[in-house]
Amino acid sequence: MSGAPKAEYEHRVAKARAKMRELGVDGLIVTDPLNYSYFTGHSVPVWMKSRASIFVLPLDGEPALISWSGPAMFARLYGREFPSWVQDRRIYPDVPFTNEPRVDWGVQDILRERGLTNGRLAIELGRETWLGIPLVDYERLKEDVPNATFVDSSPIIWGCRLIKSEWEIDCLRKACEIGGEAWDKVIAELKPGVSIRDIQKRILHYYAEGGADISSGVPMVLGATGPQGTFQKGDILYLDGGPSYNGYKMDITRRAVFGPPSARQQEEHDWMWALMFEIVDRMRPGVSMQELFEFSQSRLAQRPEWTNYSSHPALRIGHGIGLENEPPSMSGTDTTVLQAGMVLTPEPKIESVDGLVNPEEQVVVRDGEAEVLSSSSDYSLRVVPL
């Protein structure tokens, strides 16, 4: 089970039920692996698409989960606890367990037992949500409970996930600390001729050494112009992404130049990072994402000689961060208003002859000044000696 305390899940269920009550929803059906993990504590690899993991939360009464036989088997054979706080667990055999083209995962039984077959049921149908069962199985579920009404669960899911608890913020802060220290160590070790692959291998080593999730993926490494992806004099190393800690992700950028930077390289870096911090200064409760985007656009309009990546085709200069890259978006179309507890990554971008100049930090919206979670890592343009 995730390292979160039991109270964390009680809080999440309470938030979901409050939102359900507000929207007139009788039951929540969660099928996306990340949403399932968020509510149950049972982490499911996103690549395990053939084995559905489902959480059913009635407005009143006990929740239930549905999982394949593996987690219970491992818990029994190795003397471990089942990886979830949920007590009502419905276990199906390993897949495929039927030759039928459509599968009944057992959701309808739970709905009948909880008196929800005539209810208003929310499931992942809208933007920024994904069904974790095949569409044909969802269609069968609707046929199995014909008197139920199915609606989009995204207002409930994101009503819970957008505002982070202090435990979640601590995990995000720790991910930034581990990732930032790993990147800083590797940058300090760089020499001309180092390859993209070697940089990624070294970073993964430092992630593990620092206590990151072992499943943390490699960061994006760009900018090498030499043979076999090696860095040469004048190249700018671009790092993007980061590790995770208890499932919560770091997503920032850092840059380094091989040899003394040109005046242009230094100005692009310094000016863009200054703009990024101007955006951070404006990240206060009550300010909309659209306002932050428009401010950035107005500032970049003062540099017409630069190509503003966010003018076309992106129309976005940042996003939420948590278990994944999340809503809301700092964009020309997102009118979401900031609230204390949101965690975001502002990242205005320009296109340079060296590649992308993309300052990005990880920031918590607070009632006063915003808190930069990634401040332990040096954001200056680092110089690799030749």
Q: Give alpha helix (H) positions in 130-214.
A: 135-144, 154-161, 166-189, 196-210
List residues bridging with 372 in a β-sheet. Answer: 363
Question: One digit per residue, pLDDT tens: the chain, 386 residues?
Answer: 568 999 999 999 999 999 999 999 999 999 999 999 999 999 998 788 899 999 999 999 999 999 999 999 999 999 999 999 999 999 999 999 999 999 999 999 999 999 999 999 999 999 899 999 999 999 999 999 999 999 999 999 999 999 999 999 999 999 999 999 999 999 999 999 999 999 999 999 999 999 999 999 999 999 999 999 999 999 999 999 999 999 999 999 999 999 999 999 999 999 999 999 999 999 999 999 999 999 999 999 999 999 999 987 889 999 999 999 999 999 999 999 999 999 999 999 999 999 999 999 999 999 999 999 999 999 999 999 99
pLDDT at 314: 85
pLDDT at 311: 86
The alpha carbon of 224 is separated from its chain's Cα centroid by a whole number of angstroms, namely: 27
pTM, two decimal places: 0.96
Q: Domains along the chain?
A: 6-161 (3.40.350.10), 166-384 (3.90.230.10)
CB 124 within 8 A of CB 22: no
Nearest to 121 by CA among 39, 30, 56, 26: 26
pLDDT at 48: 87
Sequence-distant (≥ 6) Cβ neighbours of residue 150 within 8 angstroms = 121, 122, 123, 125, 142
> What sign does the CA torsion over 316, 320, 326, 329 have?
negative
CB 116 within 8 A of CB 148: yes
> What sign does the CA torsion over 328, 331, 335, 340 have?
positive
Strand order in the sheet with 252-258: 220-222, 236-241, 252-258, 382-384
**DSSP secondary structure string for all residues of 219-271:** PEEE---STTSB--TT-EEEEEE--EETTEEP-EEEEEEESSPPHHHHHHHHH
Q: What is the DSSP letter of 164?
A: P
Report which residue type is found at 159: G
pLDDT at 379: 97
